[in-house]
Amino acid sequence: MKQLLMGNEAIARGAVEAGIDVATAYPGTPSSEVFMALAKMAPEHGFYAEYSANEKVALEVAAGAAYAGARSIVSMKQVGLNVAADPLMSLAYIGVKGGLVLVVADDPGPHSSQTEQDTRKFGQFAKLPVFNPGTPQEAKDMTLAAFETSEKLGLPVILRPTTRTCHVCQDVEVGEVRKSKKVIRFEKDPKWVIMPKLSYLKHQELNVKYLKAAEMFETSPFNESLIRGNQGIITTGVSYNYVMEALEILGENLSVLKIGTYPIPEKMVTNFLKQMDTVLVVEEQEPVLEDEVIKLAWKNNLRVDISGKHNNDVPREGELDTDKVMAIIRKFLGLPEETVSPVSPPELPLRPPTLCAGCPHRASFYVFKKAVRKMDAIFTGDIGCYTLGNAPPLEALDTCLCMGAGVTQAQGLKRVEPERKLVAFIGDSTFFHTGIPGLINAVYNQTDITVVILDNRTTAMTGFQPHPGLPQTAMGTKEEAIDLEVLVKACGVRNVYKADPYDLEQAQKIAARALEDNGPSVVIMKRECVHLVRPSIRYEVETDKCNNCGVCYKTFGCPALFKEDDGVKIMDDCNGCSVCSQICPSGAIKPVRHS
C-alpha cells in the first residue's frame, strides 16, 4: 500500500514501523515535521513522545531508554547536533542496547540556519554509521535499516536527510507496524559507566565496530552501481536524483555509483574505480565522499582522474539542483557550455523578512528602545522570531550567534564595557533550551545586565510546538507548566518583573525600573503570539485627524501600516494589538470590529 508522504513524515512512518518505544526532539527546520508526525501517532501506536528542553536533553532521554533495550528516535536540525555533541561523543563509546537513531536534518543553502555544516563529518568524528536518503521512500526504508544496524552494532546511528528530502512529497510504500515485544529492562553493569580505563577499551571496540559497519554496507541495497563505460559519476543523497535527471536531459550514458551509507563500502567503490578512467564526485556541502574516493584510489594505486570539489568543478557551498549538475557534467565531459540564455524571471518586489503584524515582540523592542533612549546601550539577541528585531525601523538587536548566547554574550560585553547598558533578549522556548545556565552565570558572577524573556506562549518559528512553560505536552496531555517567574527567582534573580508589551505605558515604566537595577534583572514580556488568538477588532486611521507625521510606520514599523499619498492606511491583516494607536501623537488611530 502506498501513502503520499513528505520526507519527514516518511521518516516518522519508518520509525513507527520499526516499533519505537520512545521519540524525543527539539524542533528546528528542516527537521520539525519528523517529530510532529510522531507525536500525532504516539497515542495510537503506544509509544512515548516528548519535546525536550534542548537537543542534548533529547538525546540523553533517548539514550536512557536505549540503555534499557527500547528502540528510540531523536530528531533535530544540524546546528542542534552541536548542542548534543557532548553526549553523542561519549555515547559512541558506551553504545546502546536497543536501537537508537538520530535524525539530523542538514540545511544546505541554508534556508533557515546559521551554518551549512555537514553532519556526515560529525558521523566520521564520532565514528558512527550514517544513512543519507535522497527520497521520501528511501528515508522511510533507511529509518528501518538504521534501527537494525544500530542493534547489530550496538551503536547509535545517524539518519541525515537534507532540506529537499525532508520537504518533498512522494507516494511511499508503507509496511506493517511492528509491535515491540522485547523485555525492556535496564541491567546494571559497569559497562554503562564511562571511566577512563573503560573509555580506552571502548575506543578500541568502536574502531572495530566502524570497520564492521563498512563491511555490512558492502551489500546494502542503498548502494548501487551502474556500469555504462569508463567515465563515471559517484554521488550520494539527493544529488543522485539531480545526476540521473541531468544525464537523461543531456542524453549521456555515464556509469553511476550511488552511495547511501557511511562509512562507505570500500570494496564496492574500489571495484567501480578500477573500471573507470575518469570519475566525477557530485555531492552537496563538504567533500566527504570525494575524500574517501581519493583515499581509496591512492591506497589501491589506481590511475583514475577524480574531479569534484577539490578542483572546484563542484561548488562547496549552497544547494545543488539539476541545472547546476548539468553544467558540472558538461564541463566534466568537455561539452560546450549551454548557449541558450535562461529566461529571466520577472523582477519581484523586495520583501525583507519582518515580524508579523501585531507581533508582541515588536512592541517589546519598541518599549526597550524608548527606555534606553538616553543611555549608551547594547541589545544582544538570540535565535527565534525575535531575531527579526534587527531589521529597520526597530534595529533592536546588535548580536545573534546561537541559542542561549544572547544572555551570555551580554555578560562578556559588560565585562569589557562596564559603562554601557546591556539588554539581552531571549524567547520563552529558547530560555528553557539554553538560557537558564547563562542566567545562573549572571547571578553567580553578579553581572549587571537586564534579560528580557519574550514569552509568546509557544515555539513560534518552527511551527508552534509546546515547551516546558506551557500546560500541554507533545502528546496532548495536560501537565503543570513551569512558571517562568518562579524559575527565574529560583535561579537567584532578585529583580524580576512582568509586563504586557501591548500596554506601552506600564511596560515602559517596568523597563525603566529594571534598567536602573544593579546586578542582573529579568523582565518577562508576556503576550500570546498573534497566530494563537483570533482578533475581534482591528484598527483604522481617521484621515481627518492624521497629520502624516509618520511616527507609526517610521518608528514602529508594523507591516499592517503603510503610507499612501493621502495618508497612512492599515491593512486587513491588523491583529488589533492597539500599540500603533498608543504611539499616535494625534489620536488618529481607532478600533473597529473585524469584518
pLDDT at residue number 197 = 86
356 belongs to an annotated ligand binding site: no
Q: What angle in degrees, to the nearest 10, is found between the helix axes of 136-153 and 7-17?
A: 40
Phi, psi of 591 (to 5 degrees): -80, 150
pLDDT at residue number 595 = 64
Give 527-553 pLDDT, tens digit per residue: 999 999 988 899 999 988 998 888 898
Q: How far apart are CA 359 and CA 203, in angstroms?
A: 51
164-179 b/e with 16+ CB inside 10 Å = b? bbbbbebebebeeeee
Pick the closest to residue 35 from 25, 46, 45, 44 (CA basis): 25
574 belongs to an annotated ligand binding site: yes
pLDDT at residue number 341 = 66
Mean pLDDT in residue range 231-259: 97
577 belongs to an annotated ligand binding site: yes
359 belongs to an annotated ligand binding site: no
pLDDT at residue number 195 = 85
Q: What is the DSSP letter of 389?
A: G
Longest dimension (CA), the chain: 85
Q: What CATH topology corresponds to 360-526?
A: Rossmann fold (3.40.50)
Q: Is the pLDDT of residue 354 over 90?
A: no
Confidence of residue 342 (pLDDT cuts 50, 70, 90): low
Mean pLDDT in residue range 218-223: 97
558 belongs to an annotated ligand binding site: yes
Phi, psi of 20 (to 5 degrees): -70, 155
Residues spanned by CATH 3.40.50.920 within the chain? 223-333
Residues spanned by CATH 3.40.50.970 within the chain? 2-218, 360-526
Q: What is the DSSP letter of 199?
A: H
Give 123-174 pLDDT, tens digit per residue: 999 999 999 999 999 999 999 999 999 999 999 999 999 999 999 999 999 9
pLDDT at residue number 535 = 86
Q: How many CB atoms lie under 10 A from the CB of residue 349?
A: 4
Looking at domain 2-218, which CATH architecture does it have? 3-Layer(aba) Sandwich (3.40)
Lowest mean pLDDT among 71-85, 102-116, 285-299, 517-531: 102-116
pLDDT at residue number 114 = 85
Q: What is the DSSP letter of 131?
A: E
552 belongs to an annotated ligand binding site: yes
Share of residues in the chain with pLDDT > 90 (%): 83
Task: Provide the CB-side half-sphere exposure for 467 (13 A, CA).
Answer: 26
Give 1-21 pLDDT, tens digit per residue: 999 999 999 999 999 999 999
Sign, Cα dihedral of 372, 376, 380, 386: positive
By DSSP bridging, strand 72-77 and strand 2-6 are unpaired
Q: What angle in degrees, to the nearest 10, is found between the helix axes of 436-444 and 405-416?
A: 30
Q: How far apart are CA 302 and CA 294, in angstroms?
A: 10
Strand partners, 235: 258, 282
Q: How far apart are CA 138 and CA 142, in angstroms?
A: 6
Mean pLDDT in residue range 107-115: 87
pLDDT at residue number 567 = 83
Q: What is the mean pLDDT of the chain?
A: 93
Reading the block at residue 261, the C-alpha cell is 551509507
Bond prior to 393 in cis (omega within 30° of 0): yes
Give 473-522 pLDDT, tens digit per residue: 998 888 899 999 999 999 999 999 999 999 999 999 999 999 999 989 99
pLDDT at residue number 82 = 95
Q: What does CATH list as the number for 223-333?
A: 3.40.50.920
Residues spanned by CATH 3.30.70.20 within the chain? 537-593
Bond prior to 30 in cis (omega within 30° of 0): yes
166 belongs to an annotated ligand binding site: no
Lowest mean pLDDT among 21-25, 111-115, 303-307, 319-323: 111-115
Question: How far is the first Cα of the chain from the last one, in angstroms, to the nearest whole number?
Answer: 46
Give 418-444 pLDDT, tens digit per residue: 999 999 999 999 999 999 999 999 999
Residues near 545 by beta carbon (within 8 Å), at least 6 away in sequence: 586, 587, 588
Q: How far apart are CA 213 and CA 121, in angstroms?
A: 16
Q: What does CATH list as the number for 537-593?
A: 3.30.70.20
